[in-house]
Amino acid sequence: MDSSYISVVARIIKNFFLTLRTKGLIVLGLAIKNYFQIIVYKKFFPFSFIKKNIFNYKMFLDPKDKGISRTLILFGKRELDHREILLNVLKKNMRIFDIGANIGYYVLMQRKCIGKDAKIVAFEPLQENVSLLRKNLNLNNDRTTIVIKSGVSNKSGFKQFYPSSHSNLGSFNLDKQSNHQSEDKVRAKVYRLKHLFKKYYCPDLIRMDVEGHEIEILSDLTTFKIKKYPMICFETHISRYKKDLRMKNVLLKLFKIGYKIKYASSSSEYGTKLIANYGYNSINPLPIKTDDVKRNIYQNIDNNDAIELICEKGGLRTILLSTK
């Protein structure tokens, strides 16, 4: 029997029991139904998208994508800790930069919170994602969000971008250990934040999930002065920080100009135990069940503790930095 076939079957069985254990029988049943929908679309409608209700908006999702689209088709939600942190800080008429906007999961979420006329600039370097992002904006009658086909980095110019079979896991940083990232790189335009602040505006919030490239973006933010520094929401990538020691220095510089961790979520049950050892209590009454783990949200983590938990030990996932 073909080894790749055995591998696929083993993965399906593993995911079956993982979903049953973490989400329950009802969610498992719905996921199985939705998985058959994916199979049907891939076989009979290979160029079509599946339309789904996601919270209080709609999205077109790609049944061929093994990443965010598949998760949303199966379960209708993801990264609920990240969402909860955003809901705690989003206000009407905020101005936002969304870096690594992908197909619009967070752009649409933010739009619903800040209002139809508030400003969002969404940056996404991969053309396939840009096309679906624009399609999703049109689906939700969003005529205000500006979509820029580019990335953001510490220098303006061009960089090599490495796509992935999981549309949300492409990166400017090649991970040779990854089994889903492609070495067939594409040339992508990138801009510095300083340039973007001058061209558009200094946002109230920068949200990003850029698979490790936050080091370059955050580093650039510390090289120039502005009157009001934006809140920053980003996901951590401990595997990169252990290899690239710059993240610790970047955080120290951010803390020096007044940033503090306003909110942070644990990465998993392991992260929750680790954070508890530092004496922190979660602000949510019950753990947040999401992405097959349980996470908690914390406030006002000490700078030194944050550096250890982000750069050395792991345990933190989504971070919200603020100067207020």
pLDDT at 182: 60
Classify residue 159: in a domain, yes or no. Answer: no
pLDDT at 2: 61
Last residue of a domain, one of 50, 75, 100: 75
How far is Cα 58 from Cα 55, in angstroms, rounded to an integer? Answer: 8
- Looking at the structure of the chain, the number of domains it has is 2
Per-residue pLDDT tens digits for 244-288: 778 999 999 999 999 999 999 999 999 999 999 999 999 999 999
Classify residue 271: in a domain, yes or no. Answer: yes
Whether residue 1 is predicted with pLDDT greater than 60 in this model: the reply is: no
Classify residue 284: in a domain, yes or no. Answer: yes
Give the number of other CB atoms < 10 A from CB of residue 8. 11
Per-residue pLDDT tens digits for 82-141: 999 999 999 999 999 999 999 999 999 999 999 999 999 999 999 999 999 999 999 999
Confidence of residue 14 (pLDDT cuts 50, 70, 90): confident
Q: Which two tokens stand for residue 21?
A: 């254990």
pLDDT at 180: 62
The helix/strand/coil state of 146 is strand
Query: Average pLDDT of the chain?
Result: 93
Which carries the bigger pLDDT value, residue 273 or residue 22? 273
Q: Which residue has the tokens 């994508």?
A: 65
Last residue of a domain, one of 45, 75, 105: 75
Which carries the bigger pLDDT value, residue 18 or residue 196? 196
Q: Which of 267, 311, 322 is nearest to 79 (CA)?
A: 267
pTM of this prediction exceeds 0.85:
yes
Classify residue 312: in a domain, yes or no. Answer: yes
User: Please, what's the b/e burial string for 11-29 (b: 16 or more CB within 10 A of its CB; e: otherwise)?
Assistant: eeeeeeeebeeebeeebbe
Q: Which two tokens stand for residue 89?
A: 């800080």
Classify residue 178: in a domain, yes or no. Answer: no
How far is Cα 230 from Cα 196, in angstroms, rounded to an integer? Answer: 13
Element (H, E) at 187: strand 186-191
How far is Cα 156 from Cα 194, in angstroms, rounded to an integer? Answer: 10
The helix/strand/coil state of 309 is helix
Q: Tell me what the mean pLDDT of segment 200-223 comes to.
A: 95
Identity of the residue numbered 61: L
DSSP 229: P
pLDDT at 10: 81
pLDDT at 172: 75
Whether residue 8 is predicted with pLDDT greater than 90 in this model: the reply is: no
Classify residue 71: in a domain, yes or no. Answer: yes
How far is Cα 77 from Cα 97, in angstroms, rounded to an integer? Answer: 22
Classify residue 207: in a domain, yes or no. Answer: no
Bridge-based pairing of strands 120-123 and 146-148 is parallel
Whether residue 144 is predicted with pLDDT greater than 70 in this model: the reply is: yes
Classify residue 165: in a domain, yes or no. Answer: no
Based on its alpha-carbon atoms, the radius of gyration of the chain, rounded to whole angstroms, reads: 20
Last residue of a domain, one of 75, 98, 124: 75
Angle CA(207)–CA(250)–CA(304) in degrees, nearest 5?
Answer: 100
Whether residue 21 is predicted with pLDDT greater than 90 in this model: the reply is: no
Question: Using an 8 Å Cβ cutoff, are 202 and 161 in contact?
Answer: no
Give the domain extent around 316: 79-86+233-324
